Amino acid sequence: MTDQKAAGDGTWVVLPTYEEAENLPGIAGAILAALPGATLLVVDDNSPDGTGQLADELAAINPRIRVRHRPGKAGLGRAYLDGFRVALDAGATSLVQMDADWSHDPGTLPALIAPITDDRADLVIGSRYVRGGRVLDWGLGRRLISRLGSIFARVVLSLRPNDLTGGFKAWRATTLASIPFDGVHAGGYVFQIEMTYRASRHGARVHEVPITFQDRRVGHSKMSRRIIVEALLVVVRLRWDELRRRRLRRSRADHHGGSSGQGPGAGRSA
């Protein structure tokens, strides 16, 4: 039986923040309580409301909290990649990515990392769209955008997970390290889709666990029309690039095959 006091040993929770001063103290405490062996890495994009300074103050009194300061807001995906690099360099064996606004319940963390710990998965998605998962406090429009976005990405990219737009995930460190970060296109929320796509194409075992997603308690959503358009374009680009690579490989194979038939004896019957 797993020692509950050590739950999360080797796990780093990467928590991007931008203007989350009201949420940070509470969510940080809840994360560390849920995973007593984990390290929390706050990645702050120079929040005007002082979130970064607050994170430093929390880290000064709790050695399990680390802070990564970034010069400015450059997209959620870039903040995550920066945090992932820090955690991997520090020797993390598993990593969790989650939001700081309470939409991702820290109480779900043990269930999220369990398939990694038990060697049943390499990537675990906290899913709103499997049996037992649900969304609270969203209007019909937001529900449709999220659900249809996942369906669109599943069809275009031929992926199996039901929830591709969610950002509550656990990663095996070796799986995450196998993905070339420099090749990741997305900086915004479509980063979630792209990383699952890249992990799947690298042969990762992807598992979904049900979660209850609740809209942020305080602050405002950072979703916008630009983010939605970016998501559609990046999904199409990923598929287009994949199909182009396949055509190039076939073309090269045909070329080499044709060349090999031009030597002595070419054209003779077998």
Distance between CA atoms of residues 30 and 45, nearest Å: 22
Could you report the per-residue pLDDT of 112-163, keeping only the tens digit for each?
999 999 999 999 999 999 999 999 988 888 888 888 889 999 999 999 999 9
| Chain position carrying tokens 């007593």 | 36
pTM: 0.85
Task: Per-residue pLDDT tens, the chain, 270 aa: give them.
Answer: 444 446 889 999 999 999 999 999 999 999 999 999 999 999 999 999 999 999 999 999 999 999 999 999 988 899 999 999 999 999 999 999 999 999 999 999 999 999 999 999 999 999 999 999 999 988 888 888 888 889 999 999 999 999 999 999 999 999 999 999 988 876 667 899 999 999 999 999 999 999 999 886 555 555 556 767 777 888 888 889 888 888 888 777 777 765 544 444 443 333
Q: How many domains does the chain have?
A: 1
Residue 269 lies in a domain: no
Domain residue limits at 129: 4-252
Residue 258 lies in a domain: no
Residue 259 lies in a domain: no
The DSSP secondary structure of 101-118, one letter per residue, reads SSSS-GGGHHHHHHHHHT
Q: How many beta carbons lie within 10 A of that of residue 268, not counting itself? A: 6
Q: Are 26 and 38 in contact (CB under 8 A)?
A: no
Residue 105 lies in a domain: yes
Residue 230 lies in a domain: yes
